[in-house]
Amino acid sequence: MTLNPPRGGRSAARAPFVLLVAILSVILAMLLSTGLAAAHAVAEGDKGYIQEITGPHLIPFMYLGAKHMVTGYDHLLFLLGVIFFLYRLQHIAIYVSLFAIGHSTTMIMGVYFGWNVSSYLIDAIIGLSVVYKALDNLGAFQRWLGYQPNTKLATLIFGFFHGLGLATKILEYDIAPNGLLPNLLAFNVGVEIGQLLALSAILILMGYWRRTTSFWKHAYTANVLMMTAGFVLIGYQLTGYFIA
């Protein structure tokens, strides 16, 4: 079936792509800005709040979790890559659920059991997850390896690393042990709420773009930009690891 651009001509058909490029460009600028490449970093005001409180504080931690996901551009880049060529809601639900399971498991366990892992190395792997998904969308693995890696398993595994990346940052702020588990669970609920909100916005943008002729023209460029952002994140984190 031939896809026809909506009324408004070529400029209307290109609008979603232009918006996506603008978003990816902003992310790249943030990655190149000193101090902003730590996507899992907690804002100073939130840091002070976390360090001062004791006992269960479910609503504030839900808010912090949602805020983290909505502003966590590394998560959003990976999710964008995951759903880029997914059209059916049931398929999107499967992949997003796998990511959520992985993210939730290591975030909670990492903080609760105090796993001490280098945040630089974990964030570099998170950057690698973005590169991996962009290459997967470009069909690189089928050309290079002659087969398609298990995309569901990869989404789950990278979800583990995304959750561990957040855990390494939360551990730096010494959350009080009193009420730790309820607060972590509330934080995780907030993360999932934020993920649903961010994913809804992405799906609306992608749904409109897919109905235009510009989608297949510029899908390659969008994934190259996404891959570039992943490489920048990897380079920044590895540089920080060796310098620190």
The pLDDT tens digits for 135-151 are 999 999 988 988 889 99
Question: What mean pLDDT do residues 166-170 have?
Answer: 85
Question: What mean pLDDT do residues 167-192 have?
Answer: 86
Binned at pLDDT 50, 70 and 90, residue 8 comes out as: very low
C-beta separation of 194 from 88 below 8 A: no
pLDDT score recorded for residue 26: 53
Residue 9, class by beta-carbon neighbours within 10 Å (0-12 exposed, 13-18 middle, 19+ buried)?
exposed
pLDDT higher than 50, residue 64 = yes
Question: What mean pLDDT do residues 213-234 have?
Answer: 89
Question: What mean pLDDT do residues 209-217 have?
Answer: 85
The whole-angstrom distance between residue 130's C-alpha and the CA centroid of its chain comes to 8
What's the CA gap between 144 and 45, in Å, rounded? 47
pLDDT score recorded for residue 58: 87
pLDDT score recorded for residue 4: 43
Question: What mean pLDDT do residues 76-102 have?
Answer: 92
C-beta separation of 224 from 134 below 8 A: yes
pLDDT higher than 60, residue 41 = no
3-state helix, strand, coil in the chain (%, to 5): 75, 0, 25
Q: CA dihedral in degrees (92, 95, 97, 100; nearest 10)?
A: -120
The residue with tokens 């490029």 is: 21
What's the CA gap between 244 and 241, in Å, rounded? 5
Long-range contacts of the stretch 42-51 (C-beta < 8 A, 24+):
42/68, 42/169, 42/170, 42/173, 47/173, 50/170, 50/173, 50/175, 51/173, 51/174, 51/175
Question: What mean pLDDT do residues 36-45 have?
Answer: 54
The whole-angstrom distance between residue 56's C-alpha and the CA centroid of its chain comes to 27
pLDDT score recorded for residue 29: 54
Averaged pLDDT of the chain:
82
pLDDT score recorded for residue 22: 56
pLDDT higher than 80, residue 107 = yes
Cα distances (angstroms) measured from residue 10 to each of 81, 112, 209: 25, 53, 12
Binned at pLDDT 50, 70 and 90, residue 179 comes out as: confident
pLDDT higher than 80, residue 17 = no
Going by the DSSP 8-state scheme, the letter that residue 85 receives in this structure is T
pLDDT score recorded for residue 129: 95
Whether pTM > 0.75 for this model: the answer is yes
Which residue did the predictor score with more confidence, 48 or 106? 106
What's the CA gap between 144 and 42, in Å, rounded? 39
pLDDT higher than 70, residue 109 = yes
Tokens at 57, concatenated: 């504080």
pLDDT score recorded for residue 2: 35
pLDDT higher than 80, residue 13 = no
Q: Which of 174, 175, 191, 155 is nearest to 82 (CA)?
A: 155
The whole-angstrom distance between residue 198's C-alpha and the CA centroid of its chain comes to 10
pLDDT higher than 50, residue 35 = no
Question: What mean pLDDT do residues 37-59 have?
Answer: 69
What's the CA gap between 131 and 230, in Å, rounded? 5
For helices 151-171 and 89-112, give the axis angle rounded to 10 degrees.
30
